[in-house]
Amino acid sequence: MEVRHGYSSIIARGLQGVAAARPCEEDEGGPAGSAAFDAGSHMATRTEAAKIGGVTLQIIRDWVMRFNARGASGLLDGKSPGQPSRLNDVQRQAIVRMIESGPIPAIHGVVRWRLIDLSQWIYEEFRITVAKQTLSRELRAMGYRKLSARPRHHAQAEGAIEDFKKSSQRAWMKSRAKKRSTSAR
């Protein structure tokens, strides 16, 4: 069934069923949206539906298009698909091979891969610009995790931490203050 100029009671029932199954806020077309499509008593025009629902004609048009394409379930809010990935499967496999083999310092200029280094390699290899955040998301989807070493100050001497650590006494002894107070009694 396709919606054209007016809304039938079937559409109204479908929209009310969707609204009942998933309560919405007023601005999302919940009670106002189902009231806008309550065509059981009369045929509402798109303009009337927009006034009743407190939405624009463009939103009504979008709802009709979504209903025509997918039925009542098409009116539920879904996750936006977002940008398609810039990398295809062949490129992802090349990245996996490069990560697994590791960088060659003489060729790549690094001793371990960082996101920025991989991003630069991808650009040189495929002429595709990929941001660090995007590459991180792609690598996580491929099962890789970011590993980072424990941070260390660049000027820290090797044995400096050990020199400042407190060493505990080998045997527990009473403090001198306690010895004096017990002997005075």
Q: What's residue 70's pLDDT?
A: 87
Q: What's residue 10's pLDDT?
A: 44
* Residue 47 confidence (pLDDT) above 90: no
Residue 173 within a domain: no
- Which residue blocks in the chain are alpha helix, DSSP H? 9-21, 31-36, 46-53, 57-70, 89-101, 105-108, 115-126, 132-141, 160-164, 176-183
Q: Are the C-beta atoms of 39 and 11 separated by less than 8 Å?
A: yes
Name the pLDDT band for 130 (thresholds 50, 70, 90).
very high
- Kindly state whether residues 29 and 71 are assigned to the same domain: yes
pLDDT tens digits, 161-185: 777 666 655 555 555 655 555 555 5
* pTM beyond cutoff 0.85: no
- Angle 17-49-23 (CA atoms, 0-180°, nearest 5)? 30
- Kindly state whether residues 66 and 98 are assigned to the same domain: no
Task: Name which residue leads in pLDDT, 173 or 108.
Answer: 108
Q: Which domain holds residue 66?
A: 9-75
pLDDT tens digits, 134-145: 999 999 999 988
